[in-house]
A and B are shown apart, each in its own frame.
Chain A
């Protein structure tokens, strides 16, 4: 069966059934170096920024016109400079809304959307196929892999695309235990994607300090070379309170005390704020989730050091060098990569910009909200997360009032029913019940503006005082 080509805006319509394939704009890309005009912003510095932009189609040539030369005309995915990156600030949540929940999901970056676009319909082929359309899809994945490798500082062959952070964590923990046996170890403040896996295989959970970080000393004191530890999982940045782990020291401790163990880091919350190249040398497996850095949901990245063997979680067609079967999510991979590239390029500037916004947010909240205190010292937290506890306030009620005022924030993780669970992270940090029930996480990201911060301070202040003033007259007792 022949697929009917979809028409695209700005494209010539296919002229007839027989020439569908020949003339279809099934696979059309711009040259990255050619005279493509102003609308295509290709950077000449280094490699171009990614970018299978829709508008390329108007200047592109079809496969038909170029026979087998399609591959040659593909733009190269890569990492560019800041000049090309969209200013996404204040565009995501829409008028009247303040989105401070980037740690849950960051709005899709326009670069990701545009990069993905052709891979939904135009480049629809299965990249594992043997025909030309497949080769085009395959090339997109290969190039994406190169870009990801550059951002992480690993080899392209060490990059495995997954369905997300949770799959990555499951693959690391189960993959290590199923392949090597032994005991899985993690910190008590890990995301449930890690913690529940470790608990599931009867592993050990190490206590964290009052900052939520695992102290390397604990690793040194609790692990022994003969205790059969096969995998140690420590998050690079905590998703609730934002504390940064000292992966260098932890790695040293693990290598010394459990040299045979695979060290996995859940770097899902790190991608926006830490240079992954500085973490990668110290770990064996690193997992990322695209929607935390402006990519689409349902796609994750796992870097697995060459020579480290994990039993695959998903068996099947042997994609990803037999490490993760299942037809590639080409659009997702391309979108994730575009977002990661932009995140990487913007990072130094964003660290400074968001760092200032965070400072303003903290100063504002601590100054205006009674009983509000920082859960963890901002010095050891990534710039994107502000976690506070507001004494005497129930965060479930607080979040409702914030939402009513257009402020999107969060507290702890939710269970399957959608109810908020008491935070296991705060419990592991020994935060008192009276403080933890007033926990609030405001997380900043690429769309956050000074206005957002000013509004957030005002809204949280008002909501907290409203809750306090509405002393309860309810009840039947």
Chain B
């Protein structure tokens, strides 16, 4: 099979390329240039591209760089900034997977005559009892990335390979080191690629949007303090509110329009219902016509909680938690899994 392997310069995608080559596929490595600005690994992550290229050379496969920087700005960075302006906290990595790693790259792979795209995600693609393709949790639960690729529907999955999804991270590193790949001991990437650790989210956003001060009140509406940038405040946040000592207080609500942040105790953060829109259902049969029991995961490596999901309008579902849960910040992605916690059922973005 002719496979285009997305090589980020990390160990997972290096080993993905290695495995595919060993399986005899005709592969070409590609590094997507996504972020054109400064990053922790240098301007447009040149050192990561170098690593990817050097690994490809080691495997004796061609390596290309595709410049998707404009698409990345349009689909990931700009929405990230706009979302903060409206007081929601987006997950750019999910959007990058949705729009760049799959949409854009699959489209390009098609145009170039490749049969499939492979990535180094820790997730598996399995066939269920009805013969349908499913995004399934990776073998290494600690590293599982099914959350960020939950939106892949069958037509995409049919042309996607996750070669390391069946391996543990330790296996991946050990394979890399057995084959002398230079990325064998490269640390896992952390955080958002376009945010530099030195300046952080605030430093990134302050050059791209205006911050507005806001009043902080308690759940009874009594003044509790002020914040300099309401746009940087996230539901569930506890630190950085400058509220002085006393009981632990959490942000339970943010309103950028009225510039008000509401804080309360842990109990005020709990909720029974969460609303989700911008849904993706890889299988239309999974759409909850009637209420459906699922496990819900609210962050990339977060815990799963039992809930019932039910349709709450056009492209909206409600999550009714079995036990009250801390509120998830609007803008965050939630992913639904089957009760056995093996495969993805669907997912969407929290509205409230």
Interface residues in chain A, defined as those with a beta carbon under 8 Å from any beta carbon in chain B: 394, 396-397, 400-401, 414-422, 466-467, 470, 472-477
Give the dominant DSSP class at B's interface.
helix
| A474 in contact with B106 given A397-B111, A419-B65, A466-B113 (CB within 8 Å) | yes
Say whether B151 faces chain A, with CB atoms less than 8 Å apart. Answer: yes
29 A-B residue pairs with Cβ-Cβ distance under 8 Å, sorted by A, are A396-B66, A396-B108, A400-B64, A401-B113, A415-B33, A415-B44, A416-B43, A416-B44, A416-B46, A417-B44, A417-B45, A419-B65, A419-B67, A420-B65, A421-B67, A470-B110, A470-B111, A470-B113, A472-B110, A474-B103, A474-B107, A475-B102, A475-B106, A475-B107, A476-B98, A476-B103, A476-B151, A476-B152, A477-B98
Instruction: Produce 1/0 per residue, B90-114, CB < 8 A to A.
Output: 0000000010001100111111110
A470 vs chain B, min Cβ distance (A): 5
| A477 in contact with B103 given A418-B49, A470-B111 (CB within 8 Å) | yes
- Distance A259 CA – B309 CA, assembled complex (angstroms): 78
Closest to B48 in A: A417
For chain B residues 69-105, which have a beta carbon within 8 Å of chain A? 69-70, 98, 102-103
Which chain B residues lie closer than 8 Å to A421 at the CB level? 67
- Distance A477 CA – B98 CA, assembled complex (angstroms): 8
The 10 closest A-B pairs by CB, nearest first: A474-B106, A419-B33, A419-B67, A418-B65, A474-B107, A417-B49, A419-B65, A472-B107, A475-B103, A416-B46
Closest to A418 in B: B65
Which chain B residues lie closer than 8 Å to A467 at the CB level? 111
Which chain A residues lie closer than 8 Å to B106 at the CB level? 474-475
Say whether B119 faces chain A, with CB atoms less than 8 Å apart. Answer: no
The answer to whether A417 and B46 have CB atoms under 8 Å apart is yes
- Distance A472 CA – B109 CA, assembled complex (angstroms): 9
The answer to whether B159 and A474 have CB atoms under 8 Å apart is yes
- Distance A6 CA – B269 CA, assembled complex (angstroms): 81
| A417 in contact with B107 given A474-B159, A476-B151, A476-B152 (CB within 8 Å) | no
- Distance A394 CA – B70 CA, assembled complex (angstroms): 13
Which chain B residues lie closer than 8 Å to A419 at the CB level? 33, 44, 49, 65-67, 69
The answer to whether B31 and A417 have CB atoms under 8 Å apart is yes
Given A415-B44, A474-B103, A474-B156, 20 more A-B residue pairs with CB atoms under 8 Å apart are: A394-B111, A396-B66, A397-B112, A415-B33, A417-B44, A417-B49, A417-B65, A418-B31, A421-B67, A422-B70, A466-B113, A472-B107, A473-B110, A474-B110, A474-B159, A475-B102, A476-B98, A476-B103, A476-B151, A477-B103
B1 vs chain A, min Cβ distance (A): 16
- Distance A474 CA – B107 CA, assembled complex (angstroms): 5
- Distance A475 CA – B105 CA, assembled complex (angstroms): 9
Category for how many chain B residues contact A:
20 to 34
A414 vs chain B, min Cβ distance (A): 8
Which chain B residues lie closer than 8 Å to A415 at the CB level? 33, 44
The answer to whether B67 and A474 have CB atoms under 8 Å apart is no
- Distance A467 CA – B113 CA, assembled complex (angstroms): 9
- Distance A401 CA – B53 CA, assembled complex (angstroms): 20
Which chain A residues lie closer than 8 Å to B112 at the CB level? 397, 400-401
B301 vs chain A, min Cβ distance (A): 22
- The CB with the most chain A CB atoms within 10 A, among B102, B107, B156, is that of B107
Closest to B282 in A: A476
Which chain A residues lie closer than 8 Å to B108 at the CB level? 394, 396-397
Which chain B residues lie closer than 8 Å to A474 at the CB level? 102-103, 106-107, 109-110, 155-156, 159
A435 vs chain B, min Cβ distance (A): 16
Say whether B8 faces chain A, with CB atoms less than 8 Å apart. Answer: no
Which chain A residues lie closer than 8 Å to B66 at the CB level? 396, 419
The answer to whether B155 and A473 have CB atoms under 8 Å apart is yes
| A476 in contact with B280 given A419-B33, A470-B110 (CB within 8 Å) | yes
- Distance A416 CA – B38 CA, assembled complex (angstroms): 13
A402 vs chain B, min Cβ distance (A): 11
- Distance A466 CA – B106 CA, assembled complex (angstroms): 16
| A476 in contact with B44 given A401-B112, A418-B49 (CB within 8 Å) | no
Which chain B residues lie closer than 8 Å to A417 at the CB level? 31, 33, 44-46, 49, 65
Say whether B153 faces chain A, with CB atoms less than 8 Å apart. Answer: yes
Which chain A residues lie closer than 8 Å to B44 at the CB level? 415-417, 419
Which chain B residues lie closer than 8 Å to A418 at the CB level? 31, 49, 53, 65
Instruction: Produce 1/0 per residue, B142-166, CB < 8 A to A.
Output: 0000000001110110010000000
Which chain B residues lie closer than 8 Å to A414 at the CB level? 65
The answer to whether A476 and B110 have CB atoms under 8 Å apart is no
Closest to A470 in B: B111
- Distance A400 CA – B43 CA, assembled complex (angstroms): 25
A437 vs chain B, min Cβ distance (A): 9
The answer to whether B153 and A476 have CB atoms under 8 Å apart is yes
Which chain B residues lie closer than 8 Å to A397 at the CB level? 108, 111-112
- Distance A310 CA – B164 CA, assembled complex (angstroms): 58
B72 vs chain A, min Cβ distance (A): 11
- Distance A232 CA – B31 CA, assembled complex (angstroms): 39
Closest to B31 in A: A417
